[in-house]
Structure 1
Amino acid sequence: MTERNPLRSVVRLVAVVTGSLIFLSSTPTVHAQSEAQGTIYSRFGLGERVGMTSSRSQAMGGGALATRSDRGTNFGNPAALSDIFFTRFTVGFVRNNITESADGFEDSNLASGYLNAIQISFPLLSYKIGVGLSSSPYTRVGYRVEEQGTFESDPGTGNMTPYSVTFHGNGGLQKVSTGIGYSPRTGFSIGASADLLWGILEHVQSTGFLNPAFDDGIVVESTRLSGITGTFGIWYRQTGFLTTAKSFSGGATLTLPTSLKGTRVFSSGRAGTADTLATIKVSAVQLPLSATLAVAYQANARMTFALDFLYEGWGNVTSDVAFPGLNDDGEYTDRYRFSAGVEYGGGSVSDAFTRRVLIRFGLYLDNSYVSP
Structure 2
Amino acid sequence: MKKIFATGLSIVLSLPLWAQGGTNSPYSQFGLGILARQSAGFNRGMNGLAYGFHENDKVNFQNPASYSAIDSLTFIFDAGVSLQITNFEEKGHRKNARNSSIEYAVAAFRAFKHLGVSFGFLPYSNVGYNFQNTENINAFPNPSSQSATFSNTFSGSGGLHQVYLGIGWEPIRNLSIGANASYLWGELNRDVVNSYSDKNISTLSKSYITSVASYKVDLGLQYTQKINRKNQVTLGLIYSLGNKLNANPECHVISRNSQTLISDTTSYVIHKALELPQTFGGGVTWNYSNQLKLGFDYQIQKWAKIAMPQFTVVNGVADYKLVGGQFNDRQLFTLGGEFTKGDRHRSFLGRMHYRAGISYATPYLKIEGQDGPREISASVGVGIPIMNNYNNRGLLNISCEWFNRQANNFIKENVFRINIGLTFNERWFAKFKVE
- Shorter-chain TM-score bucket reads 0.7 to 0.9
* Contact 1:165–1:207 (8 Å) recurs in 2: yes
Q: Is 1:37–1:144's contact at 8 Å kept on the other side of the alignment? A: no
- What residue identity is the alignment partner of 1:52? Q
Deviation of the 1:227 alpha carbon? 2.3
**Pair 1:148 & 2:140 matched:** no
Contact residue 31 and residue 171 of structure 1 kept, 8 A:
no
Larger proportion of helix:
1
Q: Counterparts in 2 of 1:170-319, with a 5 A limit?
A: 170-206=157-193, 219-239=206-226, 241=227, 243-267=228-252, 268=254, 277-278=266-267, 280-319=269-308
SS in 2 for 1:316: coil
- Contact kept? 1:265, 1:276, Cα under 8 Å: no
TM-score by length of 2: 0.68
Aligned residue for 1:68, secondary structure, equals: coil
2:152 equivalent in structure 1 = 165
Deviation at 1:311, TM superposition (A): 1.4
* Bigger share in strand: 2
Which runs of no fewer than 5 residues in structure 2 stay unpaired? 313-322, 368-435
- Equivalents in 2 of 1:156, 1:291: separation in Å? 57
Q: Which residues in structure 2 correspond to 1:1-372 (within 5 Å)?
A: 27=15, 30=17, 34=20, 36-85=22-71, 86-103=74-91, 105-125=92-112, 128-149=114-135, 164-206=151-193, 219-239=206-226, 241=227, 243-267=228-252, 268=254, 277-278=266-267, 280-319=269-308, 321-322=309-310, 330-345=325-340, 347-372=342-367
Which residue matches 1:7? Answer: none
1:214 Cα offset (Å): 8.9
Conservation of the 8 A alpha-carbon contact between 2:85 and 2:97? yes
Contact 2:127 2:188 (8 Å CA) reproduced: yes
Cα-Cα RMSD = 3.5
Change (3 A) 1:192 1:214: same
Which stretch of structure 1 is more off in the superposition, 48-57 or 115-124? 48-57
The answer (yes or no) to whether the contact 2:248–2:273 under 8 Å persists in 1 is: no
One-letter amino acid matched to 1:205 = V
Taking a change above 3 Å as real, the CA distance of residues 164 and 318 of structure 1, as seen in their structure-2 partners, is: closer
Amino acid at match of 1:257: G
Question: Residue 67 and residue 36 in structure 1: after superposition, are their counterparts in 2 closer, same or farther (change >3 A)?
Answer: closer
Q: Check 1:318–1:151 CA distance in 2 against 1; reply closer, same or farther (3 A cut).
A: closer
Query: Which letter does structure 2 place at the counterpart of 1:51?
Result: R
- Mark the CA change 1:297 to 1:246 in structure 2 (over 3 Å): closer, same or farther: same
Contact 2:325 2:366 in 1 (8 A): no
Residues 322, 305 of structure 1: alpha-carbon distance in 2 compared, 3 angstrom cutoff: same
**8 Å CA contact 1:38, 1:96 repeated in 2:** no
Is the alpha carbon distance of 1:355 and 1:158 closer, same or farther for their aligned partners in structure 2, counting shifts above 3 Å?
farther
Do the aligned partners of 2:65 and 2:179 also contact (CA within 8 Å) in 1? yes
SS of the residue 1:261 aligns to? strand
How far apart, in 2, do the equivalents of 1:251 and 1:275 lie?
A: 56
Q: What amino acid does structure 2 have at the position aligned with 1:198?
A: W
Q: After TM superposition, give the deviation of residue 248 of structure 1 in Å.
A: 0.9
Q: What does the per-residue CA deviation read over 1:340-370, in whole Å, with 9 as the maximum and x for residues that have no partner? A: 1011125344333222221111111111321
Q: TM-score, normalised by structure 1?
A: 0.79
**1:79 partner SS:** helix
How far did 1:143 drift? Answer: 2.3
Supply the distance in 1 between the matched residues of 2:143 and 2:68 (Cα, whole angstroms).
78
The percentage of aligned residue pairs carrying the same residue is 23
Q: CA separation in 1, counterparts of 2:275 and 2:13?
A: 23
Q: State the 1:131 CA deviation.
A: 0.9
